[in-house]
Amino acid sequence: MSILEIKLPIHETFQSTVQGEGYWSGTLVDFIRLSGCPVGCPWCDTGYADGGKNLPRVERPIDELLGELKSPRVVISGGEPFIQKHLPELVQALLDAGKKVHIETSGSFWQEVSPEAWITLSPKQHINPKYPVQPQFWSRSNEVKIVIETGREIELYKEHLSAHPDLYVYLQPEWNRWSKSLSLILQMLQEKPDYKLSLQTHKYIGVQ
């Protein structure tokens, strides 16, 4: 079977939007959302808080996914992309097609993907200790994005963050408690001036 015939379970795809969060915020991107995530964050904005049994899951071949792309950059998101055994092939096929590839992950499941892929680690171990960050992600990731709800989230990760000073660290308000979270982040930035605020800009401008 050719790499282009491999199928992956797709939650949804959309094209010609902007990356709303983190380092590449404001950049034109296409999204491929892979289906499924077991982590169960209560505020999951993709619908996987309760496992997502009724959410979309359509098996689609890689060549069909490539055919609908419009932007130079593609964000593979979820769900949790790293639970999909064919994630490495999808990444490679996108790179072979001349795309820049970004992957967003909770870091709970590890597998090797091309070193050319940009990895955004958004750890959820503080929410569900059953899904700790796999240690490889701390050195492999390019940026860390932590959703702030209580202000205590970074405690669990501070040794890893100190050990990897080149990581870009973004603190992002939990959307449903935006005002409280934002003021917590402004306090946290005073202690950690190298960290940055990440806003979900796509929600402010009304795009996916």
Give the Cβ contact number of residue 18 at 10 Å: 17
Q: How far is the CB of 174 from ligand SF4 (least distance, A)?
A: 11
For ligand SF4, the closer of residues 50 and 112 by Cβ is 50
User: From the centroid of its chain, how far is CA 82?
Assistant: 10
Residues 10-69 contacting ligand SF4, CB under 6 A: 37, 39-41, 44, 46, 48
For the chain, first and last CA: distance in Å? Answer: 34
Q: Which residue has the tokens 């929600």?
A: 203
User: How far apart (Å, rounded) are the C-alpha atoms in residues 143 and 164?
Assistant: 10
For ligand SF4, the closer of residues 30 and 174 by Cβ is 174
Binding residues for substrate: 18-20, 33, 77
Answer yes or no: are the C-beta atoms of 138 and 112 closer than 8 Å: no
Q: Binding to ligand SF4 by residue 84, rule CB under 6 A? A: no
Question: Which residue stretch of 9-17, 24-32, 62-70, 75-83 sits at the interface with ligand SF4 (rule: CB under 6 A)?
Answer: 75-83
Q: How far is the CB of 128 from ligand SF4 (least distance, A)?
A: 8
Q: Binding to ligand SF4 by residue 146, rule CB under 6 A? A: no
Site string for ligand SF4, 103-122 (x = CB under 6 A): ---x----------------
For ligand SF4, the closer of residues 56 and 67 by Cβ is 56
User: How far apart (Å, rounded) are the C-alpha atoms in residues 174 and 200?
Assistant: 9
102 closest CA partner among 48, 57, 143 = 143
Q: Binding to ligand SF4 by residue 123, rule CB under 6 A? A: no
Cis amide linkage into residue 20, ω under 30° from 0: no
Give the Cβ contact number of residue 106 at 10 Å: 27
In the set 124, 126, 145, 160, which binds ligand SF4 (CB under 6 A)? Answer: 124
Residues that bind ligand SF4 (CB under 6 A): 37, 39-41, 44, 46, 48, 78-80, 106, 124
